[in-house]
Structure 1
Amino acid sequence: MADITKRSDDYSRWYLDVIAAAELAENSPVRGCMVIRPNGYAIWENIQRTLDDKFKELGHVNAYFPLLIPKSFMAKEAEHVEGFAKECAIVTHHRLKQVTVNGKTTVVPDPDSKLEEEYIIRPTSETVIWDAYRKWIQSYRDLPILINQWANVMRWEMRTRMFLRTTEFLWQEGHTAHATAEEGRAETLQMLEVYRWFAEDILAIPVIPGAKTAAERFAGAVETYSIEAMMQDRKALQAATSHDLGQNFAKAFDVKYQDAEGKVEHVWATSWGMSTRIMGALIMCHSDDNGLVLPPRIAHTKVVIVPIWKNDEEMAQVCGMADKLAAELTPVVGKVHVDNRDKMRPGWKYAEWERKGVPLRLELGPRDLAGQQVMMAARHDRKKQPVGFQVLATAVTAELERIQQDLYDQALTRRTEATVQIDSWDDFVKLYEGEGGFAHCHWCGDGTCEEAIQQKTQVTIRNLPFDRDETPGKCVHCGETSIGRVVFAQAY
């Protein structure tokens, strides 16, 4: 097994080592694109399943729209095209041809196959979806439309890092249409709350919900809301966003409806999304120097049973009981794996499953079998205790809940300890020249001031928290009257 770099030595290297050790993903031959390995994709499938169930519970349905978007569509919403123009990959030809260059055969775009209109590989799907909605919506009876899409998108990033920022990534994107501005705003906030619930209750990641500044708003949105998480290195990570699009896309694509009184007007829109970036947050929020740590509610394998034996007779006995216990536990707690591989020392197996982040390990040797018990070991804090067969399901269920709560509490404590309230520019600069963290500071609300702060310190306003302190004060940078305290941080 390759060593995992310590967080204190090189946090960025540690992050990549954890991904490699847990076999979550690896680099591909395509710049900025990764191969998501089965262990990583199993986590993504759990994310999909949990969110998809919640979306459908709220009335949303799934659909699928094209990967390729006519270039003319991107030009219809001015702010949208400005926001994504530098990240777009373009399809210009529809055929290749073989040619010989310096005696070697290669392929080039066939000049005769140049497209009359070029296509954009979707960076997001608002434009192609709103073109479809124009055909689907005529009357108030057609509203609301509540559609989600699971898809891949492409944004040509300058600096890439697995899961956190990749050229191609997987995500879900919701796109809804409504009869009133109030319905649109309610949908936007409802979906942000879904993301907050998912981050905190399922992923055990405490987040701060709030509104983004105008400078950080989604291209074409009236308002953008986010949930912001703190990683172990005290940097922020935007975990999900929800956008109130107003009537901007409806006007750009001429999507109108006739209300019950016969009045015709444009519909109101939202979009919202969470991507594989959340897996980067999951890794960085909980993992340790021994490898991946996963909250039980999102882990693919909840429990691993490691039988221990010295001879064939013991092997048959302990492996038989391990299979029996796994069959009893699976309906209660979810996937249980029995590691009955031969010719491998138990300690090696323990280390491997620790690196892969399985929340709970059960050790079962001949002495345990004789005592009708297993030794139960939690991944996150390595606490071990004997548990009898008769109470195993109850004990495992309780221990998984303890692990889930512990991980949330630990992350919340870290954030609390790394969060300060600052009122002077000198203290602000000193904080970010040092350890960093979240700073709740007064801000004047001016975008020019916001930009100046970022240029001087590489620190951004993460959001305007819903529960922010609106007590009067002076902007931490310019000294003008404040609109209230906002959250500053260095960020991924």
Structure 2
Amino acid sequence: MAKELKELTSRSENYSQWYQDLVIKADLAENSAVRGCMVIKPYGYAIWEKMQSILDRMFKETGHQNAYFPLLIPKSFLSKEADHVEGFAKECAVVTHYRLKNSPDGSGVVVDPAAKLEEELIIRPTSETIIWNTYRNWIHSYRDLPLLINQWANVMRWEMRTRLFLRTAEFLWQEGHTAHATSTEAEEEAKKMQGVYADFAENYMAMPVVKGVKSESERFAGAVDTYTIEAMMQDGKALQAGTSHFLGQNFGKAFDVTFIDQNGKSDYAWATSWGVSTRLIGALIMAHSDDNGLVLPPHLAPIQVVFIPIYRNEEQLNAIREKGSALLNRLKAFGISVKLDDADNKKPGWKFAEYELKGIPVRLAMGGRDLENNTIEVMRRDTLEKETLSCEGIEEYIKNLLEEIQQNIYRKAFDLRESRTITVDTYDEFKEKIEEGLFIMAHWDGTPETEERIKNETKATIRCIPLDGDRTPGKCMVTGQPSAQRVLFARAY
């Protein structure tokens, strides 16, 4: 077994360290020279590119277009929407000067005090303000609506406690920002994009999610409502995998974005924003991977099938390579991404361990006897099962196997969530069960005071008020006051 696997901490021993080890050893990312920021390495970025291309297609299919807005935002813009600025004030990186100069003592460069900006600029923590300031010039009539814009960008949120992919000071994401003529249209848009995110999470990431609405204290800064998808990681903690916000007319009013409606009257535009980030790579790792390394759903794996020749001499290698190349070309015709690894600087055992660590869904191996018998060894990463099959019709088999792996990974994650989701009625039971790493459905009286008490005493938060599920009224587990329905509690990343 390769050295990399020997050094991978087991999940049961230390889940947090297992995650950190896996990100580093699978060559996904590493810490950078800038505190709190990461370097996304080629293999990690390839996963992000797959996510990006699929999501981009889904956005465009729902009528959205891509644009790009400035990285730097005038400080005064953030002051225009009070709740919004309060939500991000502690996370902002501020640009105060526009020039450096050589230090008089020759020790390097220093900030030129004469180059102080008249108004500080904020490195975007999110783009509502700069975008809605721009929309004021784009929107004049109801005929200009809806305006459906998405941006692929980086953002900066000053984080002191960071973890690769899950929480970094700078991260990559997409942020949709739409403007509408009515409240109904904007709310429908916010819900629609929540549905797009849920579709992506379940059908591409193989990660079941709970769709719901955030409580008032958990809403996005400046939102009227925040729609979320929440996923369970293998340690029982929740991870917010995507959010979509109905912003009402807050930003329309803050930036004076008005339009003439069909009756000739002036009104403020209604807004939404929605986004997912490179945090999804962290979710992908924690939802599916095991003590042997990554387990990637075939729909998002940069390489779906790897072929490894096992040979004794150059003549045998050439024959296996020729047969393998022909097979891989047939797989490519099915739209399957493949790799032939015939490098002579690593032994087959080392390659097996490397691709297991990197989560390649299907590994093919062919040796001299396979060449004679027209057979090939097929191993699936999700179960580590392998079998030797005839090469005849193998490409159809592999195509079906990839879909079977995709479904099996989803089913495993779904079954885990089901087995670790419980209903409780008393606060004492809640405090006991939350220690076990569970999703807990419980009644809550709807007050921020009770919500804060639960958070302070148990470190659990209301992940969402589910849109589907048990709507039976009851009594709050803490106060005994009336509760409209059960809500989802969990500890979270």
**Do the two structures share a fold, i.e. TM-score over 0.5?**
yes
Q: Out of 70, 76, 79, which is 1:75 matched to?
A: 79
Deviation, 1:390, is 2.3
Deviation, 1:331, is 2.1
Asked whether 1:32 is paired with 2:33, we answer: no
Instruction: Return the alpha-carbon distance in structure 1 between the equivalents of residues 28 and 115 of structure 2.
Output: 39
Q: Out of 302, 308, 311, which is 1:309 matched to?
A: 311
> Are the counterparts in 2 of residues 468 and 484 from structure 1 also a CA contact under 8 Å?
no
Corresponding residue number in structure 2 for 1:143 = 145
Deviation, 1:8, is 0.5
Corresponding residue number in structure 2 for 1:129 = 131
Task: Give runs of aligned pairs for residues 279-290 of structure 1, distance below 5 A.
Answer: 279-290=281-292
Asked whether 1:10 is paired with 2:14, we answer: yes
> Are the counterparts in 2 of residues 387 and 395 from structure 1 also a CA contact under 8 Å?
no
* TM-superposition CA deviations, 1:31-64 (whole Å, max 9, x none): 1100000000000000000000011111100000
Deviation, 1:106, is 2.2
Instruction: Return the alpha-carbon distance in structure 2 between the equivalents of residues 295 and 321 of structure 1.
Output: 27
Deviation, 1:324, is 1.5
Deviation, 1:252, is 0.2
Corresponding residue number in structure 2 for 1:154 = 156
Corresponding residue number in structure 2 for 1:464 = 465
> Are the counterparts in 2 of residues 333 and 397 from structure 1 also a CA contact under 8 Å?
no
Instruction: Return the alpha-carbon distance in structure 1 between the equivalents of residues 141 and 472 of structure 2.
Output: 46
Deviation, 1:482, is 0.9
Q: Out of 174, 180, 196, which is 1:194 matched to?
A: 196
Deviation, 1:243, is 0.1
Deviation, 1:100, is 4.5
Asked whether 1:410 is paired with 2:406, we answer: no
Letter in 2 for 1:465: P
Instruction: Return the alpha-carbon distance in structure 1 between the equivalents of residues 490 and 391 of structure 2.
Output: 49
Corresponding residue number in structure 1 for 2:262 = 260
* TM-superposition CA deviations, 1:188-211 (whole Å, max 9, x none): 000000000000000000000000
- Structure 1: unaligned runs, 5 residues or longer: none
Q: Secondary structure at the match of 1:290?
A: coil
Deviation, 1:389, is 2.2
Asked whether 1:57 is paired with 2:57, we answer: no
Corresponding residue number in structure 1 for 2:424 = 422
* TM-superposition CA deviations, 1:137-157 (whole Å, max 9, x none): 000111110000000000001
Deviation, 1:385, is 1.9
Corresponding residue number in structure 1 for 2:102 = 98
Instruction: Return the alpha-carbon distance in structure 1 between the equivalents of residues 427 and 48 of structure 2.
Output: 42
Task: Give runs of aligned pairs for residues 32-431 of structure 1, distance below 5 A.
Answer: 32-100=36-104, 105-431=107-433
Residues 116-125 or 323-332, more deviating? 323-332
Letter in 2 for 1:272: W
Residues 4-13 or 92-101, more deviating? 92-101
Asked whether 1:477 is paired with 2:478, we answer: yes
* TM-superposition CA deviations, 1:339-396 (whole Å, max 9, x none): 1011422111100001011100011111111121211100110111223222111100
* TM-superposition CA deviations, 1:96-153 (whole Å, max 9, x none): 111155xx61221100100001100000000000001000000011111000000000
Instruction: Return the alpha-carbon distance in structure 1 between the equivalents of residues 332 and 373 of structure 2.
Output: 23
Structure-2-length-normalised TM-score: 0.98
Corresponding residue number in structure 2 for 1:454 = 455
Letter in 1 for 2:17: R
* TM-superposition CA deviations, 1:54-112 (whole Å, max 9, x none): 111111000000000000000000000000000000000000111155xx612211001
- Structure 2: unaligned runs, 5 residues or longer: none
Letter in 1 for 2:466: P
Instruction: Return the alpha-carbon distance in structure 2 between the equivalents of residues 244 and 427 of structure 1.
Output: 35
* TM-superposition CA deviations, 1:168-190 (whole Å, max 9, x none): 00000000000001100110000
Instruction: Return the alpha-carbon distance in structure 1 between the equivalents of residues 190 and 169 of structure 2.
Output: 27
Letter in 2 for 1:446: T
Instruction: Return the alpha-carbon distance in structure 1 between the equivalents of residues 478 and 397 of structure 2.
Output: 54
Question: Following superposition, which runs of at least 4 residues in structure 1 exceed 3 angstroms of deviation?
Answer: none
Deviation, 1:163, is 0.3
Instruction: Return the alpha-carbon distance in structure 2 between the equivalents of residues 383 and 139 of structure 1.
Output: 61
Q: Secondary structure at the match of 1:5?
A: coil
Corresponding residue number in structure 2 for 1:438 = 439
Instruction: Return the alpha-carbon distance in structure 2 between the equivalents of residues 391 and 462 of structure 1.
Output: 47
Instruction: Return the alpha-carbon distance in structure 1 between the equivalents of residues 345 and 181 of structure 2.
Output: 66
Q: Secondary structure at the match of 2:481?
A: coil
Instruction: Return the alpha-carbon distance in structure 1 between the equivalents of residues 238 and 440 of structure 2.
Output: 11
Instruction: Return the alpha-carbon distance in structure 1 between the equivalents of residues 473 and 182 of structure 2.
Output: 34
Deviation, 1:333, is 3.9
Deviation, 1:286, is 0.5
Structure-1-length-normalised TM-score: 0.98
Instruction: Return the alpha-carbon distance in structure 1 between the equivalents of residues 141 and 371 of structure 2.
Output: 69
Q: Secondary structure at the match of 1:47?
A: helix
Instruction: Return the alpha-carbon distance in structure 2 between the equivalents of residues 310 and 24 of structure 1.
Output: 33
> Are the counterparts in 2 of residues 302 and 333 from structure 1 also a CA contact under 8 Å?
no
Instruction: Return the alpha-carbon distance in structure 2 between the equivalents of residues 220 and 141 of structure 1.
Output: 26
Deviation, 1:472, is 2.1
Letter in 1 for 2:193: M
Instruction: Return the alpha-carbon distance in structure 1 between the equivalents of residues 203 and 478 of structure 2.
Output: 36
Instruction: Return the alpha-carbon distance in structure 2 between the equivalents of residues 450 and 27 of structure 1.
Output: 35
Q: Secondary structure at the match of 1:115?
A: strand
CA RMSD, 1 decimal: 0.9
Q: Secondary structure at the match of 2:300?
A: coil
